């Protein structure tokens, strides 16, 4: 019996059942092979992804495409040479974010949004001021960007509109962050961004204190355009940078953030007799039940089995046996009706709660543990590294002709 399996749009060849596997797929053009294993332990596929994920297509994208062989680069279908000749960094940033070149009004509005967001918040400013003068500017920038979320007006909102606004603020603020640290470390007063300047000119002004001449501004603007994107970006993070990225990646509700979401669910359900109806209702609404499923385990998560009795024991001790009782109902129902097993977050949630740990510290505590694994992986990678750089399958437009601003409607 054959199956149809696709990876980034490519059909696996041949796709065939394999010993101990439900399917076994090879992608000769990518040098990859995968198995999906059920039941018995089976060896991992022989063909691992090449070191550094070189040549591996990890996702689809319509933003940018590097024609490696031809030495061509396009953003959203526009050749980089056209953009370098006609565009500005602001217009290019708009193109990358939105997918199309802006109209005159849209560009005006976008530029105004950038200008309005250039100033740094006090918290970020203080962090930059507190950085030692000999700190690496990249480390200061990473910390400043990370701290910018504390006071971002959209910090609690991950909707596409809010994410866009956050992106605009970051694009506007990075020049100020870089300039501010540079001025401070060279014993100069940091400067306020100047509204009348382009982003390129402002960046140079914030660093040097001088408004660049027109040809310098234009050359810098072109450099910014040329660096604005390059498909899936390479990973060359140092220890702190990699851990910062790892913490960010852990935070979401489908990953490390699930433990807090599990507890919110249990608190909402309140008592075991309400559990089955609550879950059925959520499933009818096609909601994901937090603490169930896993990208790799297709059977019980062994960590959940170990935490289960601890959750029960600590719940009893804290005089809160209801959480474990609710969990039993949910676990049975999910296995029976959906064939899904709980994962580690399901029982770590009630275990931490019984210990009196605040909900919003559940995921940070996950990080307190996972830091050991992250560091081990970073050390392993650094010891035997190859620049990590998968490719994206470009699905955006090609061969678009740049039209002057006045002709856009």
CB of 304 to ligand COA, least distance (A): 9
The candidate with the shortest Cα–Cα distance to 110, out of 98, 126, 122, is 98
Nearest distance in Å: CB 254, ligand COA: 4
Nearest residue (CB) to ligand COA, 165 versus 370: 370
Q: Is the dihedral of CA 370, 372, 374, 377 positive or negative?
A: negative
Tokens representing residue 341 in the block: 């097993």
User: Which residue's CB is nearer to ligand COA, number 229 or number 301?
Assistant: 301
Beta bridge partners of 11: 6
| The one catalytic residue among 79, 294, 301, 337 | 294
For 248, the token pair is 């960010």
Q: Which is nearer to ligand COA, 295 or 407 (CB)?
A: 295
Least spacing, CB of residue 331 vs ligand COA, in Å: 12
Q: Check if 345 is active-site.
A: yes
CB neighbours of residue 288 within 10 Å: 14
Q: To the nearest whole angstrom, how small is the minimum distance from the Cβ of residue 292 to ligand COA?
A: 4
- Give yes or no: 255 in active site: yes
Element (H, E) at 32: strand 32-37
String of DSSP letters for 33-73 = EEEEE-SS--PPPSSPPPGGGTT-EEEEESSEEEETTTTEE
Instruction: List the catalytic residue out of 18, 227, 345, 360.
Output: 345
CB of 18 to ligand COA, least distance (A): 20
CA angle centred on 227, ends 61 and 153, rounded to 5°:
75
Shorter beta-carbon distance to ligand COA: residue 39 or 252: 252
Q: Which is nearer to ligand COA, 64 or 342 (CB)?
A: 342
The answer to whether 203 and 193 have CB atoms below 8 angstroms apart is no
Question: What residue is closest to ligand COA based on CB?
Answer: 293
Task: List residues near ligand COA by CB under 6 A.
Answer: 254-255, 258, 288-295, 338, 340, 343-345
Give the H/E segment covering residue 286. none
- In whole angstroms, give the CA distance from residue 244 to residue 138: 13
**Residue 230 catalytic?**
no
Of 255, 332, 377, 382, the active-site residue reads 255
Among all residues, which ones are annotated catalytic? 255, 294, 345
């Amino acid at each position: 019996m054959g199956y149809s399996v696709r990876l980034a749009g490519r059909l696996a060849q041949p796709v065939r059942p394999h010993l101990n596997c439900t399917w076994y797929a090879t992608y000769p053009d990518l040098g990859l092979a995968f198995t999906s294993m059920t039941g018995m332990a089976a060896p991992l596929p022989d063909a691992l992804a090449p070191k550094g994920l070189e040549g591996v297509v990890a996702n689809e994208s319509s933003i940018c495409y590097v024609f490696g062989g031809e030495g061509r680069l396009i953003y959203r279908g526009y050749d980089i040479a056209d953009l370098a000749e006609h565009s500005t960094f602001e217009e290019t940033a708009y193109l990358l974010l939105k997918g199309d070149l802006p109209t005159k009004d849209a560009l005006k509005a976008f530029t105004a949004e950038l200008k309005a967001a250039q100033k740094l918040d006090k918290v970020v400013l203080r962090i930059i001021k507190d950085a030692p003068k000999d700190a690496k500017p990249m480390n200061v920038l990473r910390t400043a960007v990370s701290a910018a979320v504390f006071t971002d007006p959209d910090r609690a909102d991950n909707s596409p509109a809010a994410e866009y606004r956050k992106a605009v603020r970051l694009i506007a603020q990075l020049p100020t962050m870089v300039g501010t640290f540079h001025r401070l470390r060279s014993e100069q007063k940091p400067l306020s961004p100047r509204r009348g300047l382009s982003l390129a000119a402002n960046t140079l002004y914030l660093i040097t204190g001088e408004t660049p001449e027109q040809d310098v501004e234009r050359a810098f603007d072109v450099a910014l355009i040329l660096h604005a994107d390059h498909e899936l970006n390479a990973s060359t993070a140092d220890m702190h940078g990699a851990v910062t990225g790892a913490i960010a990646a852990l935070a979401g509700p489908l990953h490390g953030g699930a433990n807090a979401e599990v507890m919110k669910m249990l608190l909402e359900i309140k008592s075991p007799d309400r559990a089955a109806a609550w879950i059925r209702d959520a499933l009818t609404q096609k909601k994901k039940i937090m603490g169930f499923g896993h990208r790799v385990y297709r059977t019980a998560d062994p960590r959940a089995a170990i935490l289960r009795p601890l959750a029960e024991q600590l719940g009893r001790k804290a005089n809160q046996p209801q959480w474990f009782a609710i969990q039993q109902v949910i676990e049975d129902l999910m296995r029976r009706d959906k064939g899904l097993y709980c994962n580690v977050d399901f029982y770590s949630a009630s275990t931490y709660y019984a210990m009196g740990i605040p909900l919003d510290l559940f995921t940070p505590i996950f990080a307190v543990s996972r830091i050991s694994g992250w560091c081990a992986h970073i050390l392993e990678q650094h010891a035997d590294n190859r620049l990590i750089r998968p490719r994206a399958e470009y699905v955006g437009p090609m061969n678009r002709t740049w039209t002057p601003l006045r002709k856009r409607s």
